[in-house]
Chain A
Amino acid sequence: MPENDFFRVEGLTKRFGGLTALDKLTFSVEKGMLFSIIGPNGAGKSTLFNCINSLYRPDEGKVWFRGKEITGLNPHRIAAAGIGRTFQNIELFANMTTMENLMLGRHLHMKTGLFGAAMMFHRRSRAAREEMVHRERVERIIDLLELQASRDKFVSQLPYGTRKVVELGRALAAEPELLLLDEPAAGLNNEEKEDLIFWIQDIRREFGITILMIEHNMQLVQDVSDRILAINFGKMITEGEPDEVVNHPEVMKAYLGG
């Protein structure tokens, strides 16, 4: 029964014209897991995330989250249900500072409305108090991810690696129950990658978030994942424990470009 799973994708299919980017994909993720998705370029991994988020509308299939079907809900409703994400090509708010970007992560947890906001004249006004509470939360994430030096800079001024971290921080600030990470290590140098692995493990421990991660870096995937799903041409190749999946003949073939 899908209702019993924490997160479940069932028969998900997405076509772009003649191309089938996702082909009846089915899998489920248990709470607290770090579940990785691997597959060569163009396998349909990002498309899967976009369907989960409702940025794309799947042609067939269903997505279940905590016992409820969330297929086709508006993206902001899916966020409200507790699913957060980062993007492969970094989608930050370029003309805002790091702080403001992270504060947007708090959007769902804040309540200030139009009138309250307009009346934010005093330290003790409701809007100002709420603002301060959430800044405090964001400040903790800034400390955790060592972003202090970037705190008040526009993200368009930050180096690539730092932007990736800011995006991770923004997703974390939203305190999702399920976090989708689309190639978090892509384009990072070795030192940054090590930090990232450390943080991902930290995040799981501290926040107890379930993570669904797309990653190319086999070493990273093998080190941190509880389970791995390998896909190619939108279809599942195999799913299982890291060692099994990585040594699966078809996975090796797909990765060696065979």
Chain B
Amino acid sequence: MFPNSLIQKFTFIPAFVTTQNLQPHGLRSLRCIETSDFFCIYNLQCRLAGHIMSEMGFAFMSAEMKRSYYEDIQPLKGWPARVWFVVLVAVLVAVPFVIKSYYVYVLSLMAVNVIVALGMNLLVGNTGHISLGHAGFVAIGAYTTVLLISGAGVVFPVALVAGGLIAAAFGFILGIPALRLEGPYLAIATLGFGIAVTIIIGRVELFGGHMGLIVPKPEIAGIDFSGDRALYYLVMGIAMLMGFAMRNILKSRLGRAFHSVRDSDIAAATLGVNVARYKTLSFAISAFYAGVAGGLWAFVLGFINPGLFSFVLSILFLATVVVGGLGTILGSVLGAVVITFLNLQAESIQHVPVIGEVLIWISQNFMTVSGLPNVSWIFTGLILILIVIFEPLGLYGIWIRIKIYWRTWPF
């Protein structure tokens, strides 16, 4: 079953490659996995954002004004941001009471993927590395957490953090070859890591082999978090916390050091940035996020097996940050929400009149290797391609445009 579904999902990869190639800067065939290409996009992103902003006069507004130095690094700056944040939290708290239990589960999945995307974006968007093996870190986090609880009787919060830390240790180790490898070579190395993790896990008796493991109940201080709603609050809370922590890191000395490594490691080094240290640290933090997300994912799903952590999952994580917007927190969030949604719901496109039939026809005649229809992947790929073609800044760019439109409305 695992290889079958893998083949089926492979159709998604050409779609993703095409996405990259259709970039204004990316007409370079299969080099989509080269980091520099991402940075062509990234460069464009920044310039575009800067351009839009300065055209609208935003950059100048603040330029000459003396201001409190705290303003630049303050979370939730200004009262509108705070009001919106309170509204958001209120909605997130209230929402499980109004929607069906399945959608509570979907929201939990989204929150889990947001956590992975935050870490992924630190690595890809902010430090300028690439990883095609993040599913491996998620797997390590998930298995560590589950085994520590059911095998060693460790309490849930400790097991969750331990899962993250073990993943981070692997991230650190994987970061060492990354000091020498770049672009496609690093992509292949991380790819190999991700695949190796799944294969090894599948062969070890302790890890439940291919059958996987049943996940125990998550319990914190005697309170059972296994209900849909309770788990949702837990996952959402952790995602929120990790989102803010990442924001803080990016605004701090560390965030700037990561950026400096991405933009010019020579200049970074001559300013005293320990380039090797920050590269490996970026891998480790990124893996920590993936590991914690893995632990939470296990509880959201209720079971884990090696097939979940396939190479396609790693590709999806990468797609998430590219489509969402490289190097921005909001991009990670938007990307994770949209990709999770598409991943779960894209199948329903089959039932739309005409479009569904056309897609099924395309799928059966051109796109499927195994004979099984793969409409949802074609559709997902198509959406991602469209987003990146029309908005190289990704979903984040669309957001910026909307925001500027409203600020300047009705002019």
Contacts and interface: CB of A to CB of B under 8 A. Distances in A.
Contact of A91 (B54, B249, B257, B264): B264
A95 B252 contact: no
B272 A117 contact: no
A170 interface: yes
A96 B59 CA distance: 14
Interface stretch (B65-73, B176-184, B231-239, B403-411): B65-73
A100 interface: yes
In this complex, which of B59, B70, B252, B255 has the most chain A Cβ atoms within 10 angstroms of its Cβ? B252
Given A135-B69, A149-B64, A174-B271, A117 B254 contact: yes
Contact of B267 (A93, A116, A117): A93
Interface string B247-262: 0110111111101101
B372 to A, nearest CB: 43
Interface string A101-141: 00111111010111011111101000110111001100100
A127 B260 contact: no
B50 interface: yes
Interface string A60-79: 00000000000000111011
In this complex, which of A123, A152, A153 has the most chain B Cβ atoms within 10 angstroms of its Cβ? A152
Contacts of A152: 59, 62-63
A112 B264 contact: no
A55 B69 contact: no
A52 to B, nearest CB: 10
A80 interface: yes
B252 A76 contact: no
A157 B49 CA distance: 11
A119 B249 CA distance: 8
Contacts of A85: 270
Interface in B127-165: none
Contact of B249 (A117, A132, A149, A153): A117
A93 B63 contact: no
A153 B53 CA distance: 10
B244 interface: yes
Nearest to B249: A117
A104 B268 contact: yes
Given A76-B269, A94-B264, A112-B252, 18 more contacts: A74-B274, A76-B270, A79-B272, A93-B260, A93-B263, A93-B264, A95-B43, A95-B46, A95-B327, A105-B271, A110-B253, A117-B252, A120-B73, A121-B244, A131-B251, A139-B69, A149-B63, A150-B63
